[in-house]
Amino acid sequence: MKKALKIIGIIGVVLVVGMYAYLSITTARNNAAPAAEALAAMESDAQVTVEYGDYLTLTPAAAGPKTGIVFYPGAYCDIRGYTPIWKEIAAQGYLVVIAKMPFDFAIFSPNAADGVRAAHPEIEEWIIAGHSMGGAMAGVYADNNRDNLAGVIVFDSYPPGSNSLADVDFPILLFERARLDGSRSQKFIDNANLYPASAELILIPGAQHMYYGSFDGGAYKEEWESGIERDAMQRIVINGITAWLAANFPIS
């Protein structure tokens, strides 16, 4: 009996090690690395202090931010690639924390925002945000933490059907890539009912899924050719978030 248990234990260890190795290799092979402009944005300046440790934390120079944003990255996306967009938002007076995910897969840590919130008890209201898989997991977190959140921002994503946000009463901001003629991907049309009618939707014609960050490489296959430059698309996203925050979470 002891010998059988020992063998089972060894098999379990081998399987865990093998899975870890597989995920590590797959992540490295598919990783979208931060582009040069993203790495440049990682430097602290007079407006925002950048800290890269357990999280990527963007703290505004303005004292005492009261609203915080937790961001979940897309699959296989190095979180530093999102710095150009979120640093500009932080500069306006909002704390922004980008969560690292195991193997760059938000599905493995849908409750990562718990640790972020616990680390910043000074924040009075939290917004959860996410891109792609990170957006789906942000939706799961939002559904399970309705009393702990004040809003949601999503890039090109929607929650699982089991975590519909259709009946939430907090503000939601959605960004969605569209074809150059403005037509939408059918999957977003089919899942629009997972958000309330009050959700604000910003369509970006010609947009690319990976342009929500500044990345080099990666394995994601876009649905159509780009009809907009990356910096121009990011400016639309920054302006949209800025206006939404000013309307719903103004800096006092």
Flag whether pLDDT at 6 surpasses 90: no
pLDDT band, very low/low/confident/very high, at 119 (cuts 50, 70, 90): very high
Span of 98-107, 110-119, 126-135 with lowest mean pLDDT: 98-107
Count of Cβ atoms closer than 10 Å to residue 192 Cβ: 16
pLDDT tens for each residue of 146-162: 999 999 999 999 999 99
Closest CA to 233 of 163, 190, 181, 177: 177
Q: What is the pTM of this model?
A: 0.88
Pairing, β 55-60 against β 48-52: antiparallel
pLDDT tens for each residue of 27-78: 444 689 999 999 999 999 999 999 999 899 999 998 789 999 999 999 999 9
What pLDDT is stored for residue 26 in this prediction? Answer: 42
Q: Which two tokens stand for residue 41?
A: 């944005």
Mean pLDDT of the chain: 89
The three state secondary structure string of 155-195 is: ECCCCCHHHCCCCCCCCEEEEEEECCCCCCCHHHHHCHHHC
